[in-house]
Amino acid sequence: MESPRRLPLLAALFDRDGTLVCDVPYNGDPDLVRAMPHAGDVLRRLRCLGLRTGVLTNQSGVSRGLLTPAQVDAVNGRVEELLGPFDLWEVCFHGPEDSCLCRKPAPGMILTACRRLGVEPSQTAYVGDIGTDVEAAARAGSWGILVPTAVTFEDEIAAAATVAPDLEGALELIVAAIGQEDQR
Protein backbone atom coordinates (compact mmCIF):
# COMPACT_ATOMS: atom_id res chain seq x y z
CA MET A 1 0.00 0.00 0.00
CA GLU A 2 1.66 3.16 -1.17
CA SER A 3 0.18 6.65 -0.92
CA PRO A 4 1.25 8.85 -3.81
CA ARG A 5 1.20 12.57 -3.05
CA ARG A 6 -1.82 14.09 -4.82
CA LEU A 7 -2.76 16.94 -2.57
CA PRO A 8 -4.66 18.80 -1.37
CA LEU A 9 -7.19 16.00 -1.37
CA LEU A 10 -10.72 17.41 -1.28
CA ALA A 11 -12.97 14.56 -2.45
CA ALA A 12 -13.26 10.79 -2.24
CA LEU A 13 -15.30 9.18 -4.99
CA PHE A 14 -16.37 5.55 -5.06
CA ASP A 15 -17.56 2.83 -7.36
CA ARG A 16 -20.86 1.38 -6.11
CA ASP A 17 -21.08 -2.37 -6.77
CA GLY A 18 -18.30 -4.45 -5.26
CA THR A 19 -16.80 -1.42 -3.55
CA LEU A 20 -19.44 0.21 -1.31
CA VAL A 21 -22.08 -2.52 -1.56
CA CYS A 22 -21.96 -6.21 -2.31
CA ASP A 23 -22.17 -6.82 -6.03
CA VAL A 24 -25.53 -8.21 -7.16
CA PRO A 25 -25.39 -8.21 -10.98
CA TYR A 26 -28.01 -5.93 -12.56
CA ASN A 27 -29.63 -5.29 -9.19
CA GLY A 28 -32.93 -3.45 -9.37
CA ASP A 29 -34.15 -4.49 -5.91
CA PRO A 30 -33.27 -2.20 -2.97
CA ASP A 31 -33.92 -5.08 -0.56
CA LEU A 32 -30.85 -6.89 -1.94
CA VAL A 33 -28.46 -4.04 -1.13
CA ARG A 34 -25.88 -4.96 1.52
CA ALA A 35 -23.06 -2.64 2.54
CA MET A 36 -19.48 -3.87 2.24
CA PRO A 37 -17.77 -4.39 5.61
CA HIS A 38 -16.90 -1.08 7.32
CA ALA A 39 -18.22 1.04 4.40
CA GLY A 40 -20.40 3.15 6.70
CA ASP A 41 -17.56 3.81 9.15
CA VAL A 42 -15.13 4.70 6.35
CA LEU A 43 -17.58 7.16 4.81
CA ARG A 44 -18.39 8.75 8.18
CA ARG A 45 -14.68 9.28 8.82
CA LEU A 46 -14.08 10.81 5.39
CA ARG A 47 -17.02 13.17 5.86
CA CYS A 48 -15.73 14.15 9.31
CA LEU A 49 -12.39 14.97 7.71
CA GLY A 50 -14.22 17.39 5.44
CA LEU A 51 -13.90 15.42 2.21
CA ARG A 52 -16.74 15.53 -0.29
CA THR A 53 -18.04 12.09 -1.27
CA GLY A 54 -19.64 10.75 -4.40
CA VAL A 55 -20.58 7.55 -6.19
CA LEU A 56 -19.82 6.87 -9.86
CA THR A 57 -21.33 3.72 -11.29
CA ASN A 58 -21.74 1.95 -14.62
CA GLN A 59 -25.29 0.58 -14.89
CA SER A 60 -25.44 -1.00 -18.35
CA GLY A 61 -28.44 -3.06 -17.26
CA VAL A 62 -30.55 -0.09 -18.36
CA SER A 63 -29.26 -0.13 -21.95
CA ARG A 64 -29.59 -3.93 -21.99
CA GLY A 65 -33.25 -3.71 -20.94
CA LEU A 66 -32.64 -5.51 -17.64
CA LEU A 67 -33.25 -2.47 -15.39
CA THR A 68 -35.09 0.80 -15.51
CA PRO A 69 -33.60 4.11 -14.42
CA ALA A 70 -36.21 4.14 -11.63
CA GLN A 71 -34.90 0.81 -10.32
CA VAL A 72 -31.33 2.13 -10.35
CA ASP A 73 -32.51 5.23 -8.47
CA ALA A 74 -34.27 3.02 -5.90
CA VAL A 75 -31.12 0.97 -5.33
CA ASN A 76 -29.05 4.18 -5.05
CA GLY A 77 -31.57 5.48 -2.52
CA ARG A 78 -31.09 2.35 -0.44
CA VAL A 79 -27.31 2.79 -0.61
CA GLU A 80 -27.75 6.28 0.85
CA GLU A 81 -30.05 4.94 3.59
CA LEU A 82 -27.32 2.50 4.61
CA LEU A 83 -24.24 4.69 4.12
CA GLY A 84 -25.43 8.27 4.49
CA PRO A 85 -25.87 11.03 1.95
CA PHE A 86 -23.37 11.55 -0.83
CA ASP A 87 -22.57 14.93 -2.31
CA LEU A 88 -23.23 13.55 -5.78
CA TRP A 89 -24.07 10.55 -7.91
CA GLU A 90 -22.95 9.96 -11.49
CA VAL A 91 -24.54 7.04 -13.30
CA CYS A 92 -23.76 5.75 -16.81
CA PHE A 93 -26.60 3.76 -18.35
CA HIS A 94 -24.65 2.95 -21.54
CA GLY A 95 -23.38 -0.46 -22.56
CA PRO A 96 -19.80 -1.20 -23.61
CA GLU A 97 -20.74 -1.06 -27.29
CA ASP A 98 -22.05 2.53 -26.98
CA SER A 99 -18.54 4.03 -26.88
CA CYS A 100 -19.70 6.85 -24.62
CA LEU A 101 -17.37 9.18 -22.73
CA CYS A 102 -18.90 8.43 -19.32
CA ARG A 103 -18.68 4.63 -19.04
CA LYS A 104 -15.63 3.58 -17.07
CA PRO A 105 -12.79 3.16 -18.04
CA ALA A 106 -13.50 6.46 -19.82
CA PRO A 107 -12.90 9.40 -17.47
CA GLY A 108 -16.19 11.22 -18.13
CA MET A 109 -17.97 10.51 -14.84
CA ILE A 110 -14.93 11.48 -12.78
CA LEU A 111 -14.43 14.69 -14.74
CA THR A 112 -18.11 15.60 -14.45
CA ALA A 113 -18.12 14.82 -10.73
CA CYS A 114 -15.08 17.04 -10.21
CA ARG A 115 -16.71 19.91 -12.11
CA ARG A 116 -19.89 19.53 -10.07
CA LEU A 117 -17.92 19.49 -6.80
CA GLY A 118 -15.71 22.40 -7.83
CA VAL A 119 -12.48 20.42 -7.39
CA GLU A 120 -9.68 19.42 -9.72
CA PRO A 121 -9.33 15.74 -10.64
CA SER A 122 -5.90 15.77 -8.95
CA GLN A 123 -7.70 16.67 -5.70
CA THR A 124 -9.77 13.49 -5.76
CA ALA A 125 -9.30 9.86 -4.90
CA TYR A 126 -11.41 7.31 -6.77
CA VAL A 127 -11.85 3.96 -5.02
CA GLY A 128 -12.99 0.90 -6.96
CA ASP A 129 -12.73 -2.85 -7.13
CA ILE A 130 -11.74 -3.53 -10.76
CA GLY A 131 -9.25 -2.34 -13.32
CA THR A 132 -11.68 -0.11 -15.21
CA ASP A 133 -12.16 1.93 -12.03
CA VAL A 134 -8.47 2.73 -11.56
CA GLU A 135 -8.01 3.17 -15.31
CA ALA A 136 -10.78 5.81 -15.33
CA ALA A 137 -9.07 7.56 -12.41
CA ALA A 138 -5.72 7.57 -14.19
CA ARG A 139 -7.27 8.92 -17.40
CA ALA A 140 -8.97 11.70 -15.42
CA GLY A 141 -5.84 12.62 -13.47
CA SER A 142 -7.26 11.39 -10.15
CA TRP A 143 -5.69 9.09 -7.59
CA GLY A 144 -7.05 5.60 -8.22
CA ILE A 145 -7.15 3.19 -5.30
CA LEU A 146 -7.94 -0.44 -6.10
CA VAL A 147 -9.66 -2.48 -3.40
CA PRO A 148 -9.61 -6.00 -4.86
CA THR A 149 -12.44 -8.49 -4.41
CA ALA A 150 -12.95 -12.04 -5.65
CA VAL A 151 -13.81 -10.69 -9.12
CA THR A 152 -10.65 -8.57 -9.48
CA PHE A 153 -8.15 -10.10 -11.90
CA GLU A 154 -4.52 -10.56 -10.84
CA ASP A 155 -3.32 -8.47 -13.80
CA GLU A 156 -5.58 -5.62 -12.65
CA ILE A 157 -4.00 -5.77 -9.21
CA ALA A 158 -0.49 -5.84 -10.71
CA ALA A 159 -1.27 -2.86 -12.97
CA ALA A 160 -2.78 -0.65 -10.23
CA ALA A 161 -0.50 2.06 -8.87
CA THR A 162 -2.20 1.96 -5.46
CA VAL A 163 -3.84 -1.10 -3.92
CA ALA A 164 -5.54 -1.32 -0.52
CA PRO A 165 -6.62 -4.62 1.05
CA ASP A 166 -10.08 -3.27 1.91
CA LEU A 167 -12.03 -0.05 2.42
CA GLU A 168 -10.37 0.53 5.78
CA GLY A 169 -7.00 0.27 4.05
CA ALA A 170 -8.13 2.82 1.45
CA LEU A 171 -9.18 5.12 4.29
CA GLU A 172 -5.74 4.77 5.90
CA LEU A 173 -4.07 5.78 2.62
CA ILE A 174 -6.32 8.81 2.26
CA VAL A 175 -5.80 9.86 5.87
CA ALA A 176 -2.03 9.45 5.45
CA ALA A 177 -2.12 11.63 2.32
CA ILE A 178 -4.09 14.32 4.13
CA GLY A 179 -1.66 14.08 7.05
CA GLN A 180 1.25 14.72 4.65
CA GLU A 181 -0.49 17.90 3.48
CA ASP A 182 -1.00 19.09 7.05
CA GLN A 183 2.74 18.84 7.72
CA ARG A 184 3.76 21.19 4.88
Catalytic residues, by residue number, are 15, 17
- φ, ψ of residue 126 in degrees (nearest 5): -120, 120
- Residue from 1, 122, 132, 154 nearest 60 by CA: 132
Is the CA virtual torsion 88, 62, 27, 166 positive or negative? negative
Q: Is the N-terminal amide bond of 8 cis, ω within 30° of 0?
A: yes
The answer to whether the CB of 128 falls within 8 A of the CB of 15 is yes
Q: How far apart are CA 184 and CA 141, in angstroms?
A: 22
Q: What are phi and psi of 57, to 5 degrees?
A: -140, 135
Q: How far apart are CA 140 and CA 111, in angstroms?
A: 6
Whole-number Å distance between alpha carbons of 19 and 130: 9
CA distance 142 to 120: 8
